[in-house]
Amino acid sequence: MDERFWASTKGRIILMLLRERRTVNELAEALSLTDNAVRAQLTTLERDGLVQQSGSRPGKRKPNVVYDLTPKAERLFPKVYGLLLRHLLDVLKERLTGKKLEEVARTVGHRLAPLYRPIVQASQSKGQVEQAIAILRELGGFCDHHEADGTVLLRCFECPFAEAVVGHPEVCLLVETVMADVLGVPVHQRCEAEPSPQCRFEIEPAVTND
């Protein structure tokens, strides 16, 4: 996104929604536009997967729909977390053995797992695959799945840790550990680093007692 986009009406709407959720009326007033003009822009942004309806507020005649940014839109704002993680791992790799670095990654995964358990608890009615996809979505990955012989392979369209993962497969082990802990089933990372990082996670079916 260049400066011209952020100066456009669509760009200004995204920046406003970054600060807080807003209704059509609130956006129209702030932008000095008509409600219909704002609705047209929101329709396009919804189609592009950048904006979503996220509730309503009481209005004079009827409830007003509230709009918010989607996780996809938040990725328009680059963060340095990946860069920091990569350099941190570079230093740790210089000072620790491969086995010790793997242990560190898995320990971090175990500590992160409780943060993602509410996602599964909130989707008990959904299958294990949907729960796994929800976890990866929360981590920043948008995935689909393929199933064969009872084993599920999740494939993310792009790696949310691309900045850090090249040369550091322990990042994938960290995510593998989070998913295994939360789902309660064996998970194996099958990620690809070349030519560009792509997430691949294999999930074994849960064992049932007949």
How confident is the model over 178-201, as pLDDT tens digits?
A: 999 999 999 999 988 776 788 889
The reported pLDDT for the residue numbered 2 is 65
Is the domain 3-74 a CATH 3.40.50.1010 member?
no
Domain spans of the chain?
Answer: 3-74, 81-203
Query: What are the contacts of 32-38 at 24+ separation with CB within 8 A?
Result: 33/9, 37/9, 38/13
Give the tens place of pLDDT for each residue, 42-100: 999 999 999 999 888 887 778 889 999 987 887 777 667 778 888 999 999 999 999 99
Tell me the CATH architecture of domain 81-203.
2-Layer Sandwich (3.30)
How much is the pTM?
0.62
193 contacts 187 by C-beta, under 8 angstroms: no
* CA 55 vs CA 22, 52, 64, 121: distances in Å: 10, 9, 9, 22
What's the pLDDT at 108? 95
Q: Looking at the predicted structure, is the pLDDT value of residue 207 above 80?
A: no
Q: What does the chain look like in DSSP terms, one character per residue?
A: --HHHHHSHHHHHHHHHHHS-EEHHHHHHHHT--HHHHHHHHHHHHHTTSEEEEEEE--SSSPEEEEEE-HHHHTTS--SHHHHHHHHHHHHHHHS-HHHHHHHHHHHHHHHHHHHHHHHHTTTTS-HHHHHHHHHHHHT--EEEEEETTEEEEEESS-TTHHHHTT-THHHHHHHHHHHHHHTS-EEE--B-SSS-B-EEEEPPPP---
Alpha carbon 162 to chain centroid, angstroms? 13
